[in-house]
Amino acid sequence: MSAVILDGKAIAASIRQEIKQEIESKGIKCGLAVVLVGEDEASKVYVKNKIKACSDVGIKSYAYYLQKTAEEDELLQLIDALNNDSNIHGILVQLPLPSHINEKKIISAINPQKDVDGFCAENMGKLFLGETDVLAPCTPSGIIEILKRSNIEISGKHAVIVGRSNIVGKPAAFMMLRENATVTIAHSKTKDLKSITSLADILIVAVGKQELIDASMVKKGAVVIDVGIHRTEQGLKGDVKFGEVSKIASAITPVPGGVGPMTIAMLLQNTLKAAKALMEKQ
């Protein structure tokens, strides 16, 4: 048996097309502020890709590049200005931030209605409460969208999530619960990880350890979602040993071209959602 490859790149392209059409047909004005502090190479690439994706669908992007020595206060003042700017509907501060800046303080300074990353306590809290009208974090939203658009049933399935980060693992768990999955969260302190992962009907791996998951850890016929991304001399690798696991799984996301492109598509979707909600209030 060989798994169906879940083509995140193609699914993301159709979502972007839908967003573009809605923006054009309704004449929606939509602005996203993207803030990068410092010179982290991976972050620079992510920010560049986000800005390009905005222009492709008709979202106006406003980029702010701050030096890595920028004071926390300078960033807080910028966020305050963006919160009060009616041309800006979404604010994204690229993480990680330099260590002298308090990430939590920065995230909580963003107006929750403009928090297109879905990282602030209000949006996370809504997710915890199972609310659907919420700006939810982009990577887990992308995972749910891949599953739904690939007609993979979630309700009643056992979803095992490896990783408990605030950006992916934790929100993914609550979003899968909202879709009526039975959810287990495993993490770096989990004992006998294999005994847990091999129970999964849907295995979501977001742990940041290159090729941690091998075929012996996956149930035959499981759906495997790989959130990992690691640059190696052989190209990009995920948290899953794609070659051997794709022989066991019924469906699997590749790296690259799986979850990655979905994250950006969901950012655009959140920005459009935020713009529509803010316009209704005006």
Report strand pairing: 202-205 vs 223-226: parallel
Q: Is 30 helix (H, G, I), strand (E, B) or coil?
A: coil
* Sole window of 18-26, 93-101, 228-236, 254-262 interacting with ligand GUN (rule: CB under 6 A): 93-101
Residues composing the chain:
282
Residues 165-204, one symbol each (x = binds ligand GUN by CB under 6 A, - = not), give: --x-------------------------------------
Q: Any residues with CB less than 8 A from the CB of 240 and at least 6 apart, and which?
A: 205, 211, 212, 213, 224, 226, 228, 252, 255
Catalytic status, residue 7: no
For residue 139, the minimal CB distance to ligand GUN (Å) is 6
* Sole window of 89-97, 151-159, 207-215, 217-225 interacting with ligand GUN (rule: CB under 6 A): 89-97
Q: Which of 206, 263, 194 is nearest to 230 (CA)?
A: 206
Catalytic status, residue 133: no
Sole binder of ligand GUN in the list 3, 23, 47, 92 (CB under 6 A)? 92
For residue 50, the minimal CB distance to ligand GUN (Å) is 9
Catalytic status, residue 226: no
Task: Tell how far CA 125 is from the center of its chain.
Answer: 17
Sole binder of ligand GUN in the list 5, 13, 63, 95 (CB under 6 A)? 95
Q: Is 54 helix (H, G, I), strand (E, B) or coil?
A: helix
- Count CB neighbours of 153 within 10 A: 14
Which residues of this chain interact with ligand GUN, rule CB under 6 A? 92-95, 117, 138-139, 167, 263
